[in-house]
Amino acid sequence: MIAIIPARGGSKGLPNKNTKLLNGKPLICYTIDAALAAPEISRVIVSTDNIEIAKIAIQNNAEVPFIRPKYLATDTALAVDNYIYTIERLNSESKSKIRSFIVLQPTSPLRISEDISKAIELFKIKKADSVISYTEENHPIYWHKRINDDFSFKNIFKEQLLNRQDYQPSYYPNGAIFIFDVDLIKQKKYYSQKSYAYIMPKKRSVDIDTLQDFEYAEFLINKNINE
């Protein structure tokens, strides 16, 4: 199975985050290393519009077979369109056709190769259309509310006055792993009746969007090293 690591140059929440040094190592390299260490992965391909990211990827044994077109690297560009473009271009340049692939976002540096392998195993066992990594929500989703402009509350769900332990656990996508059948992606869908969750622990589910996320990930990495 091939791995696609999408890493565009622009980022408003945390500028240049994909090349920012996390504990002395470019952020994207954590994902490249995890992908290369997973025996099920045959190729690690970085999809980027940025020359600096491309250089770092190649120096760390990933492939950058082509630079992503600018129209697929804007703030409004959809990730699914880039996946379709990448797969179709790879298929056009190869005799063997890609039937499924895994997306590993560089903003999940604590994901390990074992997570990748187990998610791929689930995908194969279930003969799935997709497998997406999720992690458990700490608080019941029924506690969530919208806040109006005047700071008053607006319900999202019907209010339930229960103790925390009485709510059924809920889960949310942590952004670390997406495995897709190509036919599903060509429909511009992530889910079908044959989609399954790969559950990851909180400690490996940090998704970096802000400087605070970055600092928390660095704290956890150093904590793991010290332990």
Q: What is the CATH number of the domain that holds 221?
A: 3.90.550.10
How far, in whole angstroms, is CA 62 from its chain's centroid?
17
Q: What share of the chain is helix, strand, coil (3-state, %, to 5)?
A: 35, 20, 45
Expressed as residue numbers, the domain containing 51 is: 2-136+171-226
Q: Output the CA angle 148-152-158, nearest 5 degrees.
A: 90
What pLDDT was estimated at residue 172? Answer: 96
Domain assignment of residue 182, yes or no: yes
Domain assignment of residue 166, yes or no: no
Per the DSSP assignment, residues forming a β-bridge with 6 are: 47
Q: 110, 175 in Cβ contact below 8 A?
A: no
* Structural domain count of the chain: 1
Domain assignment of residue 147, yes or no: no
pLDDT in tens, the chain (227 residues): 999 999 998 777 788 999 999 999 999 999 999 999 999 999 999 999 999 999 999 999 999 999 999 999 998 999 999 999 999 999 998 878 999 999 999 999 999 999 999 999 999 999 999 999 999 998 888 888 999 999 999 999 888 778 777 888 999 999 999 999 999 999 999 999 999 999 999 999 999 999 999 999 999 999 887 76
What pLDDT was estimated at residue 13? Answer: 74
Domain assignment of residue 40, yes or no: yes
Domain assignment of residue 151, yes or no: no
